[in-house]
Amino acid sequence: MPTIRELESWLTTSQAASRLNKTRQGVTWMLENRKLRAAKTPLGWLIDPKSVEAAAREQEASGDR
């Protein structure tokens, strides 16, 4: 479980979507299918930026955009 301090730097679905060149719905699909590390809060998802960067590298390596 992430700490409160760690969560302060985590991303919203909109921020993750921008970094991954996806829609918010695409990011939500990734979250629901455990493709990204995240925490669901009463205000929405918070996404680990390290998992977003790893997903971006994976997309780049596979040529998926």
Question: Structural domains in the chain?
Answer: 4-62 (1.10.1660)
Percent of the chain with pLDDT over 90: 77
In this structure, how many other beta carbons lie within 10 angstroms of the beta carbon of residue 21?
A: 11
pLDDT in tens, 21-40: 999 999 999 999 999 999 99
The enclosing H or E element of 47 equals strand 44-47
Q: Which residues pair with residue 40 across a beta bridge? A: 45
b vs e for 33-42, b when ≥16 Cβ sit within 10 Å of the residue's Cβ? eeebbbeeee
Is residue 56 predicted with pLDDT exceeding 90?
yes
Q: What is the DSSP letter of 20?
A: H
Is residue 64 predicted with pLDDT exceeding 80?
no
SS3 (DSSP) at 11: strand
